[in-house]
Each structure stands twice: as structure tokens, then as C-alpha cells.
Amino acid sequence: MLLNAQASGVYTIAATPFHPDGRLDVESIDRMTDFYLQCGVTGMTILGIMGEALKLEPEESLTVVNRVVKRAGKVPVVVGVSAPGFAAMRALSRASMDAGAAGVMIAPVPSLRTDDQIVTYFAQAVEAVGDDIPWVLQDYPLTLSVVMTPKVIRQIVQNHASCVMLKHEDWPGLEKISAVRGFQKDGSMRPISILCGNGGLFLDFEMERGADGAMTGYAFPDMLVDVVNLQKTGKRDEAHDLFDAHLPLVRYEQQQGVGLATRKYVLQKRGAIASDAQRKPGNALTPAAKAEVDYLLSRLARHDPRAQL
């Protein structure tokens, strides 16, 4: 069940549950996985940036991988393996695939600046993990400060057959999607899957530009599933109506510093995790912020009963 270039739908970026004292909450990992599956996601992506991957010990990362893969069953699981060094990247990649993961996701290190540096980095990353592992190219310049042009993305894809998906998180990025799909149309780049992030903030139009779905972690992944399915069946107005109803909460989640705290707070209220705690360093919502989120949920519930929490 390896990841391939035909992947589509919603691959939710999973949170990592912790107890209030910072311990990994393994019981909530199972609970959270069940929640995502009940939301109808196509796949799961774990140990991403919003999954607090860098705060985990290596053995904790493997615990998360093993529990999620086992619990998810036939639903494909992608593992974020980005690391400062290739040794750690290789070790987690190989262990994840041995555990039954469908593929891995690799982001560039923030120090890369030139096109040649970017292309060389991913060549070395593929050499390190092995070209038998399908992988996702994460393009997230707002957080990682690495700007990959459509031509650089094309070169990486053409250089490495094991690159089967682009996680598109540029902002603004609609024209980039069109450019990449244009390369496929003119035959200068082989087809790949494109799933989009940024909390789903632009999913409504990303689908219309040629994205295959979403790979993000908004607290209502079932809404993302609905929007993707509505767009695929040509129900454009219905897709936008549903998306627009959620947009105030999506926007609130996009705040720097409190975005993950907001997401975990709502996931806790939805019963997906036992605690909204983050492992330190991390932020928690103030009482005022929680009241704002609760207000947004109450307004959303007028249009979507799933927000009646």
C-alpha cells in the first residue's frame, strides 16, 4: 500500500497528543486515529510540523508511527521524516516503512537559498533514505523560508521517480499550482499528486486550480473531506458555501503562535484527544481566546451541526 502519484482526497495532518505534564498520550493516539477515520479521511500524515515532531525523542516518534499505522489499518499513513541530518532521516524513514507506512514527507532545511542548493539537498536526501521509498516534497516557504519555484519543483520531480506528491503550502500559491499542472500538460513533467496545506485556507480555489485534495490539519477534517468531494462532483457553490461557513475558524487557526493551541483545543472539545496540551516549548489559549473560539464554534453551528460542541 505504497503512496503513488494518483493519491487524492484528504490526508489529515495529525496532532500529537500529550498529557498535561508533557508525556506522550498513547491512549489518545488510538482515540485520535479513530476520530480521523470516522471523519472520512483518505490518509493520515503524522510527525509533521504541526505534529510537534521536533519535540519527540526518536523512540517516541517510532511509538507514534507504530500505533497510528496499526490503528489506521488499510488507510495509508505518511510519516514526516525531516531532520537536520540525513542519518536521523534515514533511520526514521526505514523504520516507518518497515512498520507499514505508505511513504514519507521531506521538507528542505531552512538554510537553503539557491536553486542548485535545493536540488542538491533533495538528491542527497533521496540517496540517504533510498530511492525505493515514495516521498512527498513539502513546499512551505512561509515557515521554512525556502522558496522553490515551479521550475525547481519540476526538476526535483523529474530527477527522482520516488517523488510522487507535492505538498503545496506556498502563499499565495494558486498560480504555482497552475504552473505545475501546466508542466504536466505540455509533457515537461510527469504527473504527480498535489495536496495542499496552510490549514485549508485556500482549499476552495486550490481544488479548482488542479489540486487533488488537502494535506492539512484543520480541526474539522470532515469539512475538508466534504469540500473536496463536492468540488470533485462539480458542486462548486455547495463547496464554497460550506467552506465559507468555516472560514472564520480556519482563519483563527492560522494565527502564528496560537494556531496549534486553537486546533488542539477544538480537537479536545470534539473528543479526539484527552488534553489540548502541547509539549514545551508551546503555547496555550488564554481564557479570552478560548471564549473567542467558543463563540466562533457557536456561530459555525448555525450552518454545520458538527460544531455543536
Q: How confident is the model at residue 249 (pLDDT cuts 50, 70, 90)?
A: very high
The percent of residues in the chain predicted with pLDDT above 70, rounded, is 100
pLDDT at position 168 is 98
Q: Find the CATH number of the domain harbouring 94.
A: 3.20.20.70
| Residue 84 forms part of a structural domain | yes
| Residue 248 forms part of a structural domain | no
| Residue 171 forms part of a structural domain | yes
pLDDT at position 210 is 98
| Residue 14 forms part of a structural domain | yes
| Residue 301 forms part of a structural domain | no
Residue-averaged pLDDT of the chain: 97
| Residue 297 forms part of a structural domain | no
| Mean pLDDT (whole number) for 124-131 | 98
Structure confidence by residue, pLDDT tens digits, 180-189: 999 999 999 9
Report pTM.
Answer: 0.97
pLDDT at position 1 is 85
Rounded Cα distance between 258 and 70, Å, is 31
| Mean pLDDT (whole number) for 111-138 | 98
Which domain, by its residues, includes 77? 9-233
Number of domains in the chain: 1
Q: How confident is the model at residue 175 (pLDDT cuts 50, 70, 90)?
A: very high
Q: What residues have CB less than 8 Å from 23, skipping those under 6 apart?
A: none
Structure confidence by residue, pLDDT tens digits, 54-93: 999 999 999 999 999 999 999 999 999 999 999 999 999 9
| Residue 247 forms part of a structural domain | no
Rounded Cα distance between 240 and 237, Å, is 5
> In what helix (H) or strand (E) does residue 44 lie, and over which residues does it extend?
strand 43-46
pLDDT at position 172 is 87
For residues 17 and 28, is the Cβ–Cβ distance under 8 A? yes
pLDDT above 90: residue 46: yes
For residues 277 and 16, is the Cβ–Cβ distance under 8 A? no
